[in-house]
């Protein structure tokens, strides 16, 4: 007798999709690329770019393709970090969908342009978007600012990129080839959305072996006045050791008494 559990017709059908959170800095503020959906469901709502995985492609290939189709942005698959998988039974009202999310923090990002299922694409301030989405979900009608469960995905993706700059030299990509500690600190402040104490930052960051290499030159930090500051360049390291932890452990501004 045939085991009914082996019958393909008895296996639940579901779709696999990808969602991509691309972060960048705009005027010292952390932003994320979002689209306005041009199709139902959630017509007109903000969403992360993404879509179905085709039968002949892997997850990274699908992420690169969907990002290009919906935002006209090209990205190196090596720059994408996997955030997680999302498979709540009713996360998509049309059918059962499991989505795998990816994130990247990209310097010198081109201007996104909407295409395919995306009516528009642009960079939005991520902390403001998450705050507005949280407030919207507290309302009686639970109007979504972000489509599907993209608020949760975006929040998780943000955690991934904040950890990336703790452990890798990625923050230096947003600086010129030589930079001051003040300029580098501003990158960390933007990504972490936290004001950092300059003295503590200097102390901790200079403990990271091989991360920063002094150039021997001095100049004024960009947008600042006062004394000349030492300049640095990024060393030949792939990981920062010890890592630079997000505030909560280090770098807090001294409390006012």
Q: Where are the domains of the chain?
A: 4-165, 169-234
C-alpha 183 chain-centroid distance: 21
Task: State the pLDDT at residue 9.
Answer: 62
171, 147, 73, 17: CA torsion to nearest 10: 100
Amino acid 51: pLDDT:
96
4 burial level (CB within 10 Å; 0-12, 13-18, 19+): exposed
**pLDDT for res 48:** 98
Q: Which CATH superfamily is domain 4-165 in?
A: Nucleoside Triphosphate Pyrophosphohydrolase (3.90.79.10)
Is there a contact between 45 and 150 (Cβ–Cβ < 8 Å)? no
- Per DSSP, 146 falls in state B
Query: H or E element: which one contains 150?
Result: helix 150-167
Mean pLDDT for the stretch of residues 229-250: 88
| 123 touches 112 (CB < 8 A) | yes
- Strand 229-234 with 212-219, pairing: antiparallel
CA distance 177 to 166: 20
Q: What pLDDT was estimated at residue 142?
A: 66
pLDDT, tens digit, 9 for 90 and up, residues 143-158: 668 999 999 999 999 9
Give me the DSSP letters along 34-76.
Answer: EEEE-SSSSTT-EE-SEEEPPTT--HHHHHHHHHHHHH-----
Confidence of residue 221 (pLDDT cuts 50, 70, 90): confident
The span from the CA of 141 to the CA of 226, in Å, is 53
Q: What is the pTM of this model?
A: 0.90
Rg (CA), the chain: 21
Tokens of 112: 């996104």
Residue range 90-97: mean pLDDT, rounded: 87
- Do 4-165 and 169-234 have matching folds? no
Distance of alpha carbon 54 from the chain centroid: 24
> 51 has which bridge partners?
18
Share of the chain above pLDDT 90, in %: 78
The architecture in CATH of the region 169-234 reads Orthogonal Bundle (1.10)
């Amino acid at each position: 007798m045939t085991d009914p559990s082996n019958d393909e017709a008895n296996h639940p059908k579901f779709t696999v999709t990808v969602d991509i959170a691309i972060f960048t800095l705009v005027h010292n503020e952390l932003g994320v690329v979002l689209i306005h959906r041009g199709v139902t469901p959630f017509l007109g709502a903000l969403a992360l770019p993404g879509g179905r995985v085709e039968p002949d492609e892997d997850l990274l290939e699908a992420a690169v393709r969907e990002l290009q189709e919906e935002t006209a942005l090209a990205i190196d698959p090596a720059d994408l970090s996997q955030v997680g998988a999302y498979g709540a039974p009713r996360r998509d009202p049309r059918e059962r969908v499991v989505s795998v999310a990816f994130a990247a923090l990209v310097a010198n990002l081109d201007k996104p342009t909407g295409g395919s299922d995306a009516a528009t694409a642009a960079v939005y301030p991520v902390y403001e978007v998450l705050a507005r989405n949280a407030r919207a979900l507290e309302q009686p009608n639970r109007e979504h600012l972000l489509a599907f469960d993209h608020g949760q995905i975006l929040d998780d993706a943000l955690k991934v990129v904040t950890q990336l700059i703790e452990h890798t030299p990625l923050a230096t990509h947003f600086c010129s080839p030589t930079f001051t500690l003040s300029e580098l600190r501003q990158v960390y402040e933007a990504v972490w959305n936290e004001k950092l104490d300059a003295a503590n930052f200097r102390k901790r960051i200079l403990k990271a072996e091989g991360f920063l290499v002094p150039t021997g030159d001095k100049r004024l930090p960009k947008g600042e006045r006062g004394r000349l500051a030492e300049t640095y360049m990024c060393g030949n390291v792939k990981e920062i050791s010890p890592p630079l932890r997000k505030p909560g452990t280090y770098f807090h501004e001294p409390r006012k008494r």
